[in-house]
Amino acid sequence: MAMTQSRARALLLAPAGLWYVTLLVFPLAVVLIFSFGERNPIGGYAPGFTLEQYANLPSRFAAFRNTLTLAPLGTLAALIIAYPLAYYLALRVSPRWKTTLLILVIVPFWTSILIRSYAWIYLLGGNGIPALLEALGIDSIRLINTPFAVLVGIVYGYLPLMVFPIYVALDKLDKSLLDAASDLGTPPWRSFVQITLPLSMPGVLTGSMLVFILLTGEFLIPAILGGGKVFFVGNALVDLFLQSRNWAFGSAVAVALIVIMLIVVALYARAIRRFGASRDDVGIM
């Protein structure tokens, strides 16, 4: 009995295990090995063992700086925009409209981010919002190809990923807790701070983590809306692997990014655990 059970378990876990090894562990090992190698003169990878690539990392400082400022900033902006939206959807909208509005939040996902980002080129470009502002008497504002444009693009692209976890946390918030707070003498704004916000923190943390991780790997939006001036690490990787074909250096950049991410995620997980210790019942992530 125990034998068949453990065999069944192994069988059921096999696809996931295989997937994990071939698509995660193996490529990661390759990247790690490449990062200690050298650039093949004709492009690609040449075996070797040197720390030269890591010593060269500062030459890509700008990409790291942009990623590590715009990704947190984008996460924060997305959070600030997503929270009221999620709150409205979870606590204010009548049930009749809820589904429709939730679908509207996802609708943008049905079109490629590439096409949607091109739409923003127009909106932020000379004939778009700046032209509108000019008509209002605000002259020569440049939006496209600035960090701001990239920020707008990433907030726009990742908003739904922030909205949904927060929405779920708020949706399952027991509404009688708000009645109870009010009954005990708490005006609405204070009960938001004391009850709603703390109890929706799991959603906030999940959404922020999700958006932040994906943002650090982003390359499409900076490429399109940053116009080659606002580079992310993702763009550096595309450049190193596809253009200059310096696989060894590219691997080192990738490893550096992974290490930074691991540190950030570990800090984050600790913050969540500290939260979780006080509210197991709400369910974390």
Q: To the nearest whole angstrom, how small is the minimum distance from the Cβ of residue 180 to other proteins?
A: 4
φ, ψ of residue 159 in degrees (nearest 5): -55, -45
Exposure string for 78-111, b = 16+ CB within 10 A, e = fewer: bbeebbebbbebbeeeeeeeeeeebeebeeeeee
Instruction: Give the count of alpha carbons within 13 A of 171, CB side only.
Output: 16
76 versus 282: smaller Cβ distance to other proteins: 282
Q: Angle at which helices 147-171 and 197-216 pack, to 10 degrees?
A: 140
Residue 257 in tokens: 């990014």
- What is the SS3 assignment for 241-267? HHHCCEHHHHHHHHHHHHHHHHHHHHH
Q: To the nearest whole angstrom, how small is the minimum distance from the Cβ of residue 269 to other proteins?
A: 19
Positions in 163-192 near other proteins (CB under 8 A): 174, 176-177, 179-187, 190
C-alpha angle 74/78/80, rounded to 5°?
Answer: 120
Q: To the nearest whole angstrom, how small is the minimum distance from the Cβ of residue 95 to other proteins?
A: 13
Q: To the nearest whole angstrom, how small is the minimum distance from the Cβ of residue 175 to other proteins?
A: 9
62 versus 177: smaller Cβ distance to other proteins: 177
139 versus 183: smaller Cβ distance to other proteins: 183
Place of tokens 């990014």: 257
193 versus 265: smaller Cβ distance to other proteins: 193
Q: Is 198 in the site for other proteins (CB under 8 A)?
A: yes
181 versus 215: smaller Cβ distance to other proteins: 181
User: Site map for other proteins, 16-35, x if CB under 8 A?
Assistant: --------------------
| C-alpha to C-alpha distance for 175 and 282, rounded to whole angstroms | 14
Piece of the chain touching other proteins by CB under 8 A; list 92-100, 133-141, 153-161, 274-282: 274-282
List residues binding other proteins (CB under 8 A).
174, 176-177, 179-187, 190, 195, 198-199, 278-282
